[in-house]
Amino acid sequence: MPAAIDFYFDFASPYGYLASLEIDALAAAHGRSVNWRPILLGAVFAVTGSKPNMQLPLRGDYLKHDIHRIARRQGAPLVWPAVTPVNGLAAARSVWWLSEREPATARRLAAALFHSHWGEGRDIGPADVVATVASGIGVDGAALLAAIAEQRIKDRLRAETDGALARGVFGAPFFIVGGEPFWGWDRLPMLAEWLTRGGW
Q: Which residues are at the interface with a second copy (CB under 8 A)?
A: 47-50, 56-59, 61-62, 65-66, 69, 72-73, 165, 168-171, 181, 183-184, 186-187, 189-190, 200
Under a CB-based contact definition with an 8 Å cutoff, are residues 169 and 9 in contact?
no
Q: Of 24 and 66, which CB lies nearer to a second copy in the complex structure?
A: 66
Strand order in the sheet with 174-177: 34-38, 5-9, 174-177, 180-183
Rounded to a whole number of angstroms, the minimum distance from the CB of residue 111 to a second copy is: 25
Cis previous bond, 81, omega within 30? no
Residue 7 CA to residue 21 CA, distance in Å, equals: 12
Which residues on adjacent β-strands are paired with residue 200?
none
- Of residues 97 and 185, the one with the C-beta less far from a second copy: 185
d(CA 45, CA 56) in angstroms, rounded, equals 14
CB of 186: closest distance to a second copy in angstroms? 5
> How close are the terminal C-alpha atoms of the chain, in Å?
21
Q: Which is nearer to a second copy, 69 or 101 (CB)?
A: 69
Work out how close the CB of 196 gets to a second copy at its nearest, in angstroms, rounded to a whole number: 12
Between 1 and 200, CB nearer to a second copy? 200
Residue 8 CB, shortest distance to a second copy, in Å, is 12
